[in-house]
Amino acid sequence: PGINMEPPVLAYAEEKVERKRLDDTGSDQIFDNVFKE
């Protein structure tokens, strides 16, 4: 407790969206994230 401030439901929803987005874009999304840093 105290480490993750996000409500579990919100975190779960975000994870679902993130997984779907990664499935849609494939590895290109990973490369975009690396080079944008």
pTM: 0.40
pLDDT value for 27: 60
Residues 22, 29 contacting (CB under 8 angstroms): yes
The vertex-33 CA angle with 27 and 28, nearest 5°, equals 20
**Digitized pLDDT (tens) for each residue of the chain, 37 residues in all:** 566 666 778 878 888 888 887 777 666 656 666 766 5
pLDDT value for 20: 82
